[in-house]
Chains A and B, each alone.
Chain A
Amino acid sequence: MSDIASRVKAIIVDKLGVDENEVVTEASFTNDLGADSLDTVELIMEFEKEFDIQIPDDQAENISTVGQAVSYIEEAKK
């Protein structure tokens, strides 16, 4: 697993209080990991802080799974 992926995973485990094994690439924050609308906003903010990036709201709307978050951040950090 890439460094970005493992850091993303750690944030999700911490913020959503879920088990590490559940945080798989296809997992949806809301449908699989129990996040509500506020959790999702918080996750995006944590990603911004951790990776020192800005994720505009219209882009954030497209990040709803673990895999999508990792890809977005990898792209942003290139």
Chain B
Amino acid sequence: MELKRVVVTGLGALTPIGNNISEYWEALKTGKSGAAPITYFDTTLFKTKFACEIKNFNANDHFDRKEVRRLDRFAQYALVASDEAILDSGVDLDVVDKYRIGVIWGAGIGGLETFQNEVIDFAKGDGTPRFNPFFIPKMIADIAPGNISIKHGFMGPNYATVSACASSANAMIDALNYIRLGYSDIMVTGGSEAAVTQAGMGGFNSMHALSTRNDDPQKASRPFDANRDGFVLGEGGGALILEEYEHAKARGAKIYAEVIGGGMSSDAYHMTAPHPEGTGVIAVMKNCLENSGLKPEDVDTINTHGTSTPLGDVAELKAIKNVFGDHAKNININSTKSMTGHLLGAAGAVEAIASILAMQNNLVPPTINHETADENIDPELNLTLNKPQERNIKVAMSNTFGFGGHNACVAFKKLDE
């Protein structure tokens, strides 16, 4: 059977550097850092005292009091970002067939703060299990797509993907394939995460995964720099409306880009460490090229996973050289995590959105905070350091890799009429 073509017709973002798409793009092209001292809790005893929190977000501006109480932050972010994307798409919800609209949403963890607080309350008590009835439904990762469908009446396929930091890239690929196969006309996809909590910070600190550059948070996320010392935890949400091309055309929709394919693979190596030879990462980019019908030389930009960890960044660039050969040095490689921090399950979505906006504006956002070259990185690679670069982008790829060895890569193309 012939696969249907799929396009992006709406975008929404709630990120540490901008609370909607236009603010997000403005911050990306100007190289703004979203890192700052943590405001959510007292960090005195914590090794890392900063993160990329969402700023100026008041849940009461978006939800009534009762809704706020029954939505963990990660679900609030999901609803806010998806609302923006749905509105942006211009879909008239009164005329579309809602059985043909689904929601596939990524969250690496889900309602971590809800889980943490309920367990703290339980531990403080006398052992009587007086858990709030909203504890479980607030916490579970799939409640984000559940709530999106409840709000808008979308009755198509609905579930969450969980693959740590690759979660929302997996969501986008699944959404793409459901439309390709003709199961749905429109999919709301993306991801959200809200792990800037005591449990999140403490847990990642114990793994030595986070930067501890407490004296200069804004310079802490420095992918590819020789003195990088771990990732900076971020939070937020990103949403994309994927739509079958003919369906979008028939309603005269604005089209951002075509989603031409996705790759998936597993390292099958270690719970958290990247494979030193990057075999899984090589496989995922090759899978993505094949699935997208691309040759390596077609690719203009790669928004890397690039988390600013010592091992991961080098392994990813080695893999890019392996897959793209001589063409690797012609590619604009960047890491938007240098600005946003690492949004975990939402990373794939907000980074794909960055790639799409870059394509639309023919401008590659910079990898900020680069000061010292790493001798393990080929200096011929164009890492789009510190300043944005103009580029006529026809094809953009976005990588994400998750603890557990999950790799996912998505490709977008400027639409050929």
| Chain A residues within CB distance 8 Å of chain B | 15-17, 34, 38-39, 41-42, 45, 49
Number of interface residues of B (CB under 8 A): 11
Q: B66 to chain A: which residues have CB within 8 Å?
A: 15-17, 34, 39
Q: Does B137 contact A (CB under 8 A)?
A: yes
- What number of residue pairs across chains A and B have CB atoms under 8 A from each other? 22
In order of increasing CB-CB distance, the 7 nearest A-B pairs are: A17-B66, A17-B65, A41-B133, A38-B133, A42-B133, A17-B64, A38-B134
- Nearest chain A residue, comparing its CB with the CB of B64: A17
How far, in Å, is A63 (CB) from chain B's closest CB?
15
A–B Cβ pairs within 8 angstroms, 20 of them: A15-B66, A15-B69, A16-B66, A17-B64, A17-B65, A17-B67, A17-B69, A34-B66, A38-B70, A38-B134, A38-B137, A39-B66, A41-B133, A42-B132, A42-B133, A42-B134, A45-B130, A45-B132, A45-B133, A49-B130
> Which partner residue on chain B sits nearest A13 by CB separation?
B65
Which A residues are in CB contact (< 8 Å) with B64? 17
Q: How far is the CB of A51 from chain B (nearest CB, A)?
A: 14
> Bound complex: CA of A16 vs CA of B65, how far in Å?
8
Determine the chain B residues whose CB is within 8 A of the CB of A38 once the complex forms.
70, 133-134, 137
Question: Which residues of B are interface residues toward A (Cβ below 8 A)?
Answer: 64-67, 69-70, 130, 132-134, 137
> In the bound complex, what is the Cα–Cα distance between A49 and B70 (angstroms)?
19
Q: A38-B70, A38-B137 are in contact. List 15 more A-B contacts (CB 8 A).
A: A15-B66, A15-B69, A16-B66, A17-B64, A17-B66, A17-B67, A17-B69, A34-B66, A38-B133, A38-B134, A41-B133, A42-B133, A42-B134, A45-B130, A49-B130
In the assembled complex, which residues on chain B have CB atoms less than 8 Å from the CB atom of A49?
130
